[in-house]
């Protein structure tokens, strides 16, 4: 089974205070062989990028309404008249609030949904084929 990657480079704003943000280069990545997850990589001026992985469904929902709890929370809002998606991340190293352009995130999500529509993620994992093979093998061995 062929697997596809849907990537998008974008610039996020790291919110330092209500009046101050700094741009952060980032990458959104979706892999059809990991169909339930999205991956965000941030380049924050350190030797190593920061990687976060969370449910694609969480990002889809967060474009439209506040969702998530714990380590990842996402909600839509307006900043200076622009539609943005806020992503709040919490880790032992600290908290971060990032803003991403809603049209850019929505367009990228649309590409992932065209590749793997909601509800078809399980078919991407090849579990049905593996299970059928396993059952065929076990039945061959029965006497």
Distance CA 87, CA 75 (A): 7
Return the CATH number at 30: 2.30.31.20
Which is more confident, 125 or 58? 58
pLDDT, tens digit (0-9, with 9 covering 90-100), for 44-83: 777 888 899 999 999 999 999 999 988 999 999 999 899 9
Task: For the chain, report the end-to-end CA distance as a whole number of angstroms.
Answer: 33
Q: Is the four-CA dihedral 118, 63, 58, 104 of positive or negative sign? A: positive
Count of domains observed in the chain? 1
For residue 20, pLDDT beyond 60 = yes
The pLDDT score that the predictor gives to residue 122 is 78
The pLDDT score that the predictor gives to residue 83 is 97
pTM across the whole model: 0.82
Residue 142 lies in a domain: no
Residue 30 lies in a domain: yes
> Phi-psi region for residue 81, left (φ > 0), alpha (ψ -120 to 50) or beta?
left
pLDDT, tens digit (0-9, with 9 covering 90-100), for 96-117: 999 999 999 999 999 999 999 8
The pLDDT score that the predictor gives to residue 139 is 62
**Which of 42, 17, 16 minimizes the C-alpha distance to 28?**
42
> Which residue segment(s) compose the domain that 114 sits in?
5-137
């Amino acid at each position: 089974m062929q697997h596809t990657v849907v990537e998008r480079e974008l610039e996020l704003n790291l919110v330092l205070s209500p009046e101050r943000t700094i741009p952060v280069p980032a990458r959104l990545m979706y892999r059809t062989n990991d169909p339930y997850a999205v991956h965000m990589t941030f380049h924050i001026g350190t030797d190593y990028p920061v990687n976060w992985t969370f449910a694609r469904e969480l990002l889809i929902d967060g474009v439209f309404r506040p969702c998530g709890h714990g380590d990842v929370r996402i909600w839509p809002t307006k900043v200076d008249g622009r539609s943005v998606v806020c992503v709040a991340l919490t880790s032992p190293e600290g908290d971060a609030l990032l803003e991403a352009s809603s049209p850019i995130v929505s367009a990228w999500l649309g590409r992932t949904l065209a590749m793997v529509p909601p509800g078809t993620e399980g078919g991407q994992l090849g579990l049905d084929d593996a299970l059928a093979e396993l059952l065929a093998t076990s039945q061959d061995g029965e006497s």
